[in-house]
Chains A and B, each alone.
Chain A
Amino acid sequence: MQMISDFMAMGGYGGFIWTAYGAVAFVLGGLLIISLRENRATAAEVAALEANSPRRRNKTDKEDDAT
Chain B
Amino acid sequence: MIQQYANPARFNRLATTLMPWFAWPAGILIVAGLYFALFNSPPDYQQGDTVRIMYVHVPAAWMALFVYTSMAISSAVGLIWKHPLAHLSAQAAAPIGACFTFVCLLTGSLWGKPMWGTWWVWDARLTSVLILFFLYLGFMALQNAFDDPRRGERSAAILAIIGFINVPIIKFSVDWWNTLHQPASVVKMSGPAIHSSMLIPLFMMGVGFTLYFGALLLLRMKTLMLARRARGMSMAQLHQQAAE
Contacts and interface: CB of A to CB of B under 8 A. Distances in A.
A13 B236 contact: no
A45 B52 contact: no
A13 B229 contact: no
Given A24-B107, A66-B4, A13 B99 contact: no
Given A35-B223, A65-B4, A13 B114 contact: yes
A53 interface: yes
Interface string A1-31: 0000001001111001101110110011001
Interface residues of B, number: 49
B143 to A, nearest CB: 16
Given A39-B226, A63-B232, A16 B99 contact: no
Contact of A11 (B48, B107, B226, B240): B48
A33 to B, nearest CB: 11
A58 interface: no
A11 B220 CA distance: 40
Interface of A: 7, 10-13, 16-17, 19-21, 23-24, 27-28, 31-32, 35-36, 38-39, 42-43, 45-46, 49-50, 52-53, 56, 60, 62-67
22 contacts: A13-B114, A16-B53, A16-B110, A16-B114, A17-B50, A20-B110, A23-B103, A27-B99, A27-B102, A28-B103, A28-B212, A31-B95, A31-B96, A42-B223, A42-B227, A45-B227, A49-B233, A49-B234, A56-B237, A60-B236, A65-B228, A67-B232
Interface of B: 1-2, 4-5, 8-9, 34, 38-39, 43, 48-50, 52-53, 56-57, 60, 95-96, 99, 102-103, 106-107, 110-111, 113-114, 212, 216, 219-220, 222-223, 225-237, 240
